[in-house]
Amino acid sequence: MRRQSKKTYVDLLIYAFAAVVLVGIPLAQAQEPVSLTKVTLLPQWLPQAQFAGYYMAVEKGFYKQHGLDVTVLDGGPRKPVAPALRSGEATFATQFLSTALAMRDEGLPLVHLAQVTQRSALMLVAHKSHGIYSVKDLDGKKVGLWKDFSAQPMALFRKCNLRVKTIAQGPMINLFMRGGVDAASAMWYNEYHLFLNSGLNEDEVTLIFYDQHDLNFPEDCILCLDETWRTRPEVCRQFVRASLKGWQYVIEHQEESLRVVMQRTEQARTGTNRAHQRWMLQCMCDLIKPVKPATQMGELTQEAYERVVCELKNNDQIRLAPAFEEFHVPIHP
């Protein structure tokens, strides 16, 4: 029995070798599948089209092609980024560049792996009926600002020598819709569309985009802890490459991507709707395109980095910032 079993084993080896050499089966396919590295991603907010690229990278198997088994967590106020990274619950996270720098200034050793959105979606929406048709008309007006995203508007006011009365703005849009402020902060892909859905007509408002006033703050970026980059650099590289591949797929297949986004929002019971997510998806596809022809998807330029650092310091939102080369790790697609 032992001789027969040994002979059978040898025969199997000979057959496998023949399949590889004679039939032409690639050696990698003849071997056992390579195990995938498990990692987790925590987007900074609840499931929505803002994170479509990561959902599609999972859906289309791009992470697996890069040797990764990725779980995309649901972010939001109940699962903040900093504790999740510290505890190891999240391997990677997304966050605004300005917020990431503030977190780094507070002692979280973050490394910037990729700059997904290249243009700022932050804007001011102003009532024309209140006499606002351009930036200079904000002088003397009441403007709603978000505390965490006040560096750009304050820089704009200084640049244009404007005296405005700033009003702390919450998450709701009621204050602006009822005329309680002359202008309000909004994200192009989010609150502005909510304004329109609430009965505001486009010709009733003046839109002020910061990126059109030399105050572009690139926003959504991919981050990890410094220890993760030092100990697992190839995992970081493959995660970024697969994620950018996911975003490229979104640009080319928006309706399919929208379907997957809606599945994620329904699972999380966010209460959104398809029309709003389609708007957000279309905006995101525009925002991730490189600003300059020489730059690539996911690239952070030193010029943009230093602009953000300068204005955050001017607005007393950070005290110190690492050198560009220390904070940003260039990973080519």
Q: Match domain 37-119+218-327 to its CATH number in 3.40.50.2300, 3.20.20.80, 1.10.579.10, 3.40.190.10.
A: 3.40.190.10
CATH 3.40.190.10 in the chain, residues? Answer: 37-119+218-327, 122-213
The 3-state secondary structure of 122-182, one letter per residue: EEEEEEHHHCCCCHHHHCCCEEEECHHHCHHHHHHHHHCCCCCEEEECCCCCHHHHCCCCC
Measured CA distances, 96 to 46, 50, 148, 218, 277 (Å):
15, 12, 10, 8, 20
Give the count of beta carbons closer than 10 Å to the beta carbon of residue 198.
11
Segments of the chain assigned E as strands: 37-42, 68-72, 92-96, 110-115, 122-127, 142-145, 165-168, 183-187, 205-209, 220-225
Question: What was the pLDDT predicted at 330?
Answer: 85
Q: What is the CATH number of domain 122-213?
A: 3.40.190.10
Residue whose C-alpha is closest to residue 288's, from 226, 232, 222, 235: 222
Q: Which amino acid is at 271?
A: G
Distance CA(182)–CA(141), nearest Å, equals 6
CA–CA dist 30, 20 (Å, integer) = 7
Contact partners, residue 228, CB within 8 Å, separation at least 6: 91, 92, 111, 235, 236
| Tens digits of pLDDT across the chain (333 residues) | 444 444 444 454 444 444 433 444 444 444 445 799 999 999 999 999 999 999 999 999 999 999 999 999 999 999 999 999 999 999 999 999 999 999 999 999 999 999 999 999 999 999 999 999 999 999 999 999 999 999 999 999 999 999 999 999 988 888 999 999 999 999 999 999 999 999 999 999 999 999 999 999 999 999 999 999 999 999 999 999 999 999 999 999 999 999 999 999 999 999 999 999 999 999 999 999 988 776 899 999 999 999 999 999 999 999 999 999 999 998 876
